[in-house]
Structure 1
């Protein structure tokens, strides 16, 4: 993977973002429509309000959690509440009466907006579980898998990419004598939007951390994963790990 090739891909990605974001004023709020899709294949929207000269409030107006609860994905159990709070904390976001909110300044608005979108994508992916196994969350399965085979890891790690934007990874396996650092993302419901988010994070940090590898755990139990998603990962040297075939990677991850 050549540096010039990666730089071109990052620039094309940023240009794509700019050209596919729309802004509409709604009284004191601005509605920002992004090209990232939620689990209904609708564009993710967030709302921005100016608090004072330099501070802004970002919110989803309660849509993300309300939509999940209306579809039967409640947050009533202690474990689910803990997972939701951990995820939100990792992105610097609060849950205020069902609304996701965060504050930003002129200087960090781009990063905060990026994290907000990533959080919504992650929440959708984390809690949209199989109807036959609603109580079992995929990220828990991956965590238990790493623990079971004594695969050392750091969870919820953040790294700053070439763009200056911070990226969150579900797990990091530190380098050893045999293997470099290994970055892990967990996708319960892999689709075009979640794949794009992972690939942007990977390409952005790769220029700074070239001696590293990227893996994505994909939940293929009771569902078929689109071949375009797999092709996209492989094109960018990201190793897709089907959950049904995870045993094949124990030696590689534990090395």
Structure 2
């Protein structure tokens, strides 16, 4: 068994062992080891139906953003939210993020719902009602301003069979390999871990020379050293937003 196989097996073992189940009448509460932006364990809910299962966040994701002053009251924000949800096959039902599943694809749909919730939390972290530009948009604007070509919002299937969304892919050129970027608005142990596992799971399905970059928002706070160290340990290049120009030459070719 390769080192990557061992890492993936260890990840799924951690995920299984740290997941807690609680019955709430017709619903089952699933507490995951993933942390939200408040460092609380992320919870989702499942209910058996005649045709399979319904999985939902119970409306907690959008309610939390609303209570934090981040309203989905502009076309731009609604478009970004829908792009995230569509990428993972998640629907918005009133205030809930929701997906249906069968016994065969329950694990995949559960994974997709969790990843969508984490993406929404990170995308709108620290975004008040007076701030229009989100970090994803900042990165996209910068890439365009320095003539770096890219494809946005690309989803790759990992070795596990699960899907992972990356924010930008810069295609291979004659002199440079494919470069895969995720923009992390709230750099933390949890968001770094999420990217690391996504990269480990998908890198074997990409060309051998493909590189991974993490754009880290340091506008509001200093990035912890253990975050950048963890990323480097798994072959991911951390790019602090304040130092982005130092990496232009690696990305523009």
Could you say whether these structures have the same fold, taking a TM-score greater than 0.5 normalized by the shorter chain as the test? yes
In 2, Cα distance between equivalents of 1:252 and 1:27:
54
Query: Which residue does the alignment assign to 1:186?
Result: 183
Query: Which residue does the alignment assign to 1:208?
Result: 205
In 1, Cα distance between equivalents of 2:211 and 2:61:
32
Query: Which residue does the alignment assign to 1:229?
Result: 227
Unaligned runs of 5+ in 1: none
Query: Which residue does the alignment assign to 2:159?
Result: 162
In 2, Cα distance between equivalents of 1:50 and 1:211:
44
Distance 1:57 1:132, change over 3 A: closer
Query: Which residue does the alignment assign to 1:40?
Result: 38
Q: Deviations over 1:99-126 (max 9, x none)?
A: 1101111222111111111111111111
CA shift at 1:49, angstroms? 0.8
- Give structure 1 regions of 4+ aligned residues with deviation exceeding 4 angstroms: 130-133
Identify which of 132, 139, 154 aligns with 1:142.
139
Q: Deviations over 1:126-166 (max 9, x none)?
A: 11136697322000001111111221111111111111111
Query: Which residue does the alignment assign to 2:4?
Result: 6
Query: Which residue does the alignment assign to 2:103?
Result: 106
Distance 1:180 1:60, change over 3 A: same
**Could you say what secondary structure the match of 2:205 adopts?**
coil
Query: Which residue does the alignment assign to 1:249?
Result: 247
Q: Deviations over 1:142-201 (max 9, x none)?
A: 111111122111111111111111111111111111111111101001111111111111
**Could you say what secondary structure the match of 2:69 adopts?**
coil
**Could you say what secondary structure the match of 1:157 adopts?**
strand
Q: Deviations over 1:52-81 (max 9, x none)?
A: 25x211101100000110111111111111
Query: Once superposed, what is the RMSD of the aligned Cα atoms?
Result: 1.5
Unaligned runs of 5+ in 2: none
TM-score by length of structure 2 reads 0.96
**Could you say what secondary structure the match of 1:163 adopts?**
coil
Q: Is contact 2:69–2:128 with CA below 8 Å preserved after alignment?
A: no
Q: Is contact 1:129–1:137 with CA below 8 Å preserved after alignment?
A: no
TM-score by length of structure 1 reads 0.95
Q: Is contact 2:68–2:128 with CA below 8 Å preserved after alignment?
A: no
Q: Is contact 1:129–1:136 with CA below 8 Å preserved after alignment?
A: no
**How many pairs does the alignment contain?**
252
Q: Is contact 1:129–1:138 with CA below 8 Å preserved after alignment?
A: no
Mapping for residues 10-159 of structure 1, pairs under 5 Å: 10-53=8-51, 55-129=52-126, 134-159=131-156
CA shift at 1:208, angstroms? 2.4
